[in-house]
Amino acid sequence: MGKYSPIGDYLRMQPGDELQLSFADVEEIIESALPASAYNHRAWWSTQQNHDSRAWAKEWMNGRVDRQQRVTDGMLGSPRQIN
Q: What is the pLDDT, as a whole number, of residue 78?
A: 53
CA distance 52 to 42: 16
pLDDT exceeds cutoff 80 at 77: no
Q: What is the pLDDT, as a whole number, of residue 24?
A: 93
pLDDT exceeds cutoff 70 at 70: yes
The amino acid sitting at 8 is G
Q: What length is written for the chain?
A: 83
13-54: per-residue pLDDT in tens? 888 888 888 989 989 999 999 989 888 887 787 766 555 655
pTM of the model: 0.76
| Sequence spans of domains, the chain | 5-76
pLDDT exceeds cutoff 50 at 79: no
